Every structure is written in structure tokens, then in C-alpha cells.
Amino acid sequence: MRNYLSIDIGGTNLKYGLIDHSGNLLFKQQKATPTEKDAFIKEFKEIIAAYQSKILGVAISVPGKVDSQKGIVYHGGSLPFLDQMNFQTLIQSDFGELPVGVENDGKAGALAELWLGVLQDQPNSAAIILGTGVGGGIIINNQLLPGSHFQAGELSFMINNYQLTGNDKLVGMSCSSVKMIEKIATELNLADKKDGLAVFEQLSRQNPAAWKIFRAYCQRIAYLILNVQSVVDLTTYAIGGGISSQPLLVKTINEEYDKMLLELPLVKQTLVRPKVKRAKFENSANLYGALYGLLQKLDQSAVAD
């Protein structure tokens, strides 16, 4: 038995699955995420209890700021009742000394790509996760960069429009893929304003109104990559999130990056252009990444002992 239970806690769904030590996903299921703390804890513990006899540990991906050493979540993102929750204590109080790993969802996405995805053999790289906001994880010398306060890679909080006021200045607003889809759907008067497939169908038909919004969005992502690149000098960026399943996204981001370099010859001459790739993992990324974080934690403990 070398299997682990990996749980991805999202604002909408609790996804979970068994993954072996080599990264083979044996199965995956999901349930609706409870919206109240006590109901969440009950559901969470029931999932673990169902597989307790079959696992070597529990890996968790969760929104919010995460102290991955202690297993504590702060703020909780779209699930504020997770604030100050210590998952390590929560699990071990009921299930004994079961190894527990907890990681921020954006960083888990980066770890998945580092372990088994497009960031393999890329010791200095990053993942940018496009969704409601913009998450991310930065890899330096083959290690996830946590930051002094476990906040490295929180790209949503960068400012990219100095003319606007309030939260509209933030990357998390202007680079939200959800908002981009809604904007196109509204412009085209689509029935479902959250229907990404319908939006990309219009893009495939070369709808000019859709393309104007989409290309401007991809340009902002290209600017974001340049801003990060000027600070940490990486080789490769993996673009993740549900929208990354559309090959057109990364293709257009690369086109906009090249256009930007033509407009900024000094940047082109000075900074080496990184590779921008579509992430390998989509909806399962956080399951893999959370487990890789736990496996690294166990390896470090073994070396210390």
C-alpha cells in the first residue's frame, strides 16, 4: 500500500482521489463543498474515514494563505470559515499520526507541473492559474518559493492599471478569466454569461467583438508574465486553470508577448524570452500538487531524522 488521499477544497466542489507514490491517479470523485464550518468538517472527516485503512497520508489543496509547515490556513479565500483552521490538528485528532500536507491551491498547481507536468526539468519556472482571480506558484532551484509570509505567487494582488481606483487596479480583476468570459458573453448577448464553451465557439468563428475582448485579455496576461520575468528570470511559465484547456489561449498569449517585444526593443534585447506553455493538468492539478508537497515534506522529515 503506497497510496495517498488527496483533497482539493474549492469554493464549489470538494474533489478527492487516491494517488500512488508514483503519481498515478487511481480514482477521482467530488462532492459539493459545504458552505458552513461544522457541515464542512463533518463531510471532510467522512471522506478521510472512508479511506483511512488504504492510505499512508492526506494531502490537501485549499484557497487562502497557507502555513504549509504547520498545516494552518488563513483567510480561506472564497471559504472564509476556513480562517485559522489547522488541518493537521483536525485530522490527527481523529485519525492518529497520519501524515498531513496542506498547500495553497495556486502553489499546488505549480507543484503538479513541477512533478509530472510541463515544468519538469525546469528548475526556475512558474505556474499562472487563471480563474476567478489569478493564482500562481514560483519555482526557484526546483523548490516552491513560499515567501516570508507564505504569500509568494499571489499574483492577483499585483497592480497593473494605475489609472483605475480600488480593486479594479488589481491583476485579479483585469486578468480574471471568469470576468473575461462574462464580458464577452454580455457583449454577444449570450443566454448564459458563464458559458466558456459558447464564448470559445464564437472565437473559433472569428467573431470580431469576441476577439477584441479576448486579445486584450491575452495581452494583459503577456504583460503580467513580463512583469514577473523582470523580477525572477524564469525559463518557463505554465498557464493553468480551467480555461487553459482551450489551446487558443496560450497560442494568443504567446502572440501578444511577441507583439509586446516588437513594441519594446529594449526589453527584447535585454530579457531572455521565456517559454509560455499550456499546463498539463487541468481539473486534477491540485490533487497532484498537494500530494507532491506532502511527499517533499516527508522526504525532508526523513533526512532530518
CA distance 43 to 180: 33
Q: 105 an active-site residue?
A: yes
CA distance 218 to 91: 41
At residue 113, what are phi and psi to the nearest 5 degrees? -70, -35
Catalytic residue, candidates 20, 38, 105, 121? 105
| Cα–Cα nearest to 115, from 244, 304, 230, 284 | 284
- E strands within 182-274? 236-240
Which three three-digit cell numbers place residue 64? 487562502
Residues 6+ apart with CB under 8 A from 59: 4, 5, 6, 7, 100, 101, 102, 103, 287, 290, 291, 293, 294
Which single residue is written with the C-alpha cell 483552521? Answer: 85
Eight-class DSSP state of 170: B
Residues 6+ apart with CB under 8 A from 119: 110, 113, 125, 127, 139, 236, 238
DSSP secondary structure string, 66-89?
EETTTTEEES-TT-GGGTT-BHHH
Say if CB 79 and CB 11 are below 8 A apart: yes
Which residues are known catalytic residues?
105
